[in-house]
Amino acid sequence: MTLIKPAALKQKTNNNMKKLILTISILTVMSRSMYAQNVRFVRSGIITYQKTVNMYAIIQRSITNDNEALFKPAFETYKQQHPQFKELESTLMFNDNKTIFTPVGNTTSVTSFFNDPQISMQNNIVYSDLTTKQQISKRKVFDDTYLLRDSLKNIKWKFTDEVRDIAGYPCHRANGLILDSVYVVAFYTDKIPISGGPESFNGLPGMILQVVIPHENVSWIAIKVEDVSLPTNSVVPPTGGAVINFKELTDKLRDVYKGNTKSGLADLKAFLL
């Protein structure tokens, strides 16, 4: 019997380990390559969003020392007759780097002592061309209808490490600031490489599937994503209404709300989101 010297045995063991490590590395690379080939990025489809508004919180904010004698009893009656959360649906069609957001159903105000605030409604049809960075939205403002034509809204985003699953898609969190002072939380997925989202929210490296405006007690979340090939030129801008740009609309609304009441300022922000 031939004895293997300890040094030779050690060398043989090292060689076997190197071969094993090399084999594992090759298999890992092959596995990742096959996975990458099988990953499907959705570039066309329809997303259904649910908008949720915390009506109790919004009404509670409107109660002050000056009006509580009248508003508090009315608020208690409201809570007995209406749910805390108002829910509305909308769809977002996307194709060829274009999107159109459309409310589903009517947004008629609830009959009560309290008028529904603007933030609790869905009066906008919003078309975005993410290639040209232009946006056209049909907006109902009081009794008037405007066709707002302007560039995409500039939102200052800051990325975070938080990740969550929404409608079956892994989503990354980003915090943003719009209208100079409105804080926004968004979750986007890079598995849908379209830089759009509900309403006029945009500007992230993937589709926004959830938006939360904490201080306004409102959120949008995707409840269904349909991966379907839409026909070419199926996503087109809305028509009808007086043509206006964002600055002109802002000036008009500020003139209406020049009294700067608390509820007036809230409605002003809601119209401009």
Q: What is the CATH number of the domain that holds 126?
A: 2.50.20
> Sorting pLDDT into bands at 50, 70 and 90, what band is 79?
very high
Least confident of 41-50, 70-79, 222-231, 252-261: 252-261
Greatest C-alpha distance within the chain:
104
Q: Which domain holds residue 165?
A: 45-245
pLDDT at 29: 42
Secondary structure (3-state) at 147: strand
Q: Is the pLDDT of residue 7 over 70?
A: no
State the average pLDDT for the chain: 86
In a domain, residue 263? The reply is no
* 84 exposure class (CB count in 10 Å sphere: 0-12, 13-18, 19+): exposed
> Sorting pLDDT into bands at 50, 70 and 90, what band is 31?
very low
Domain count, the chain: 1
pLDDT at 38: 43
> Sorting pLDDT into bands at 50, 70 and 90, what band is 263?
low
In a domain, residue 171? The reply is yes
In a domain, residue 19? The reply is no
pLDDT at 4: 53
Tell me how far apart the alpha carbons of residues 186 and 175 are, in angstroms, rounded to a whole number.
Answer: 6
pLDDT at 203: 97
Determine the average pLDDT of the residues in 199-205.
97
Determine the average pLDDT of the residues in 5-14.
56
pLDDT at 253: 87
- Contact assessment for residue 88 and residue 107, using Cβ atoms and an 8 Å cutoff: yes
In a domain, residue 113? The reply is yes
15 to 5, 8, 150, 189: CA distances (angstroms): 15, 11, 66, 44
In a domain, residue 264? The reply is no
In a domain, residue 157? The reply is yes
